[in-house]
Amino acid sequence: MSAEALQWFKSTYSGSEGGQCLEVAVTPGVIHVRDSKQHPEGSSTLRLAPRTWARFAEFAAR
């Protein structure tokens, strides 16, 4: 699936001024992550297993 076809969302903690945020798109078996400041077109994404993403999210929440 191309990055353009994914449904991206950003954290509610991201500022409303736009431009500088981490965005995530979820597909079966893969969590896609991109930095919209560096790659707004989504040309470069990090792909993580759901379990890896869950562990990261738990760590970040602490």
Task: Parse the chain into domains and list their residue ranges.
Answer: 3-10+20-61
Q: What is the pLDDT of residues 21-38, one digit of tens each?
A: 788 899 999 999 888 776
pLDDT of residue 30: 95
Report pLDDT for 58: 92
- State residue 8's pLDDT score: 86
Judge whether 20 and 37 are in contact, CB under 8 Å: yes
Which tokens belong to 60? 């970040």
Residue 49 has a pLDDT of 97
Q: What is the mean pLDDT of the chain?
A: 80
Which tokens hold the place of 23?
């965005």
